[in-house]
């Protein structure tokens, strides 16, 4: 069985029925691996069930295409002409979706050319890499936990009272915006806070509302900075 799997990795495998059947089965399973990883790792609002199904089908189709070519240059040019007539367009919402499409195509090509060991190893390495990036949140930036908006009605000279309160709850407090116009009583302030304990947000808001001169307190939980 091991020789049957590896015989195509160092040359062209024979075009027998068993070889083609095994190639299509591995392409089907490899497409499922890519699709399952996509389902686990995907984040955002652009999830599409049809895209997940396409990853499985695409891997199988590419395997069939490679079997049809069978190292024949004339057939390859003929397939290119057919695909040029049938135009396929799709706008990907997420840049990472391109990676899954390429992975599905690559696994399908490996299965279609009987490079079964390469197909299995490639699918496993791709799955491990994508799961690592997903579970470690690689590339995410977390610089603050809370966006805090409030109205400060007291003079700006008394602002250290507010900053002292924020300092007790936050390791870092950065002024995001400060608005005070002529004829407008008080100052609207917006802070980005990196909290000492994210579970004590209600306590922070309660102390702010009880502080003289503070009103219209609103907060927004900040997520990891990421492109959507």
Q: pLDDT tens for the chain, 228 residues: list them.
A: 555 555 555 455 556 778 788 888 888 998 999 999 998 888 766 778 888 888 888 888 888 877 777 656 666 666 666 565 555 556 666 777 888 888 888 888 888 878 888 888 889 999 998 888 888 877 776 677 888 899 998 888 888 888 899 898 888 888 888 887 766 688 899 998 888 887 888 888 899 989 998 888 988 887 644 444
At 42 the pLDDT is 82
Angle at 93 between CA 90 and CA 98, to 5 degrees: 70
Contact by Cβ (8 Å): 107, 30 = yes
Q: Is 5 exposed, middle or buried (0-12, 13-18, 19+ CB in 10 A)?
A: middle
At 225 the pLDDT is 46
88 vs 78: CA distance, rounded Å: 17
pTM for the predicted model, two decimal places: 0.59
Residue with tokens 């004590």, as numbered in its chain:
200
CA-closest candidate to residue 121, choices 9, 3, 1: 9
Q: In degrees to the nearest 10, what's the CA dihedral of 87, 91, 95, 98?
A: -30
At 226 the pLDDT is 45
């Amino acid at each position: 069985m091991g020789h049957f799997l590896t015989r195509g990795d160092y040359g062209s495998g024979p075009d027998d029925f068993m070889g083609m059947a095994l190639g299509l089965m591995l392409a089907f399973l490899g497409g499922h691996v890519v699709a399952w990883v996509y389902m686990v790792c995907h984040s955002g609002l652009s999830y599409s069930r049809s895209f997940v199904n396409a990853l499985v089908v695409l891997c199988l189709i590419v395997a069939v295409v490679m079997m049809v070519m069978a190292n024949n240059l004339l057939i390859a040019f003929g397939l290119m002409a057919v695909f040029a007539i049938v135009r396929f367009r799709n706008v990907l919402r997420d840049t990472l979706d391109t990676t899954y499409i390429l992975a599905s195509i690559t696994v399908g090509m490996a299965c279609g050319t009987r490079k079964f060991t390469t197909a299995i190893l490639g699918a496993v390495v791709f799955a491990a890499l994508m799961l690592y990036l997903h579970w470690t949140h690689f590339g995410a930036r977390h610089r603050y936990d809370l966006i805090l908006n409030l109205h400060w009605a007291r003079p700006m000279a008394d602002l250290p009272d507010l900053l002292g309160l924020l300092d007790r709850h936050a390791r870092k407090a950065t002024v995001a915006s400060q608005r005070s116009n002529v004829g407008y009583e008080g100052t609207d302030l917006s802070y980005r806070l990196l909290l000492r304990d994210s579970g004590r947000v209600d306590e922070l808001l309660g102390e702010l509302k009880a502080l003289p001169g503070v009103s219209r307190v609103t907060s927004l939980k900040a997520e990891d900075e990421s492109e959507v």
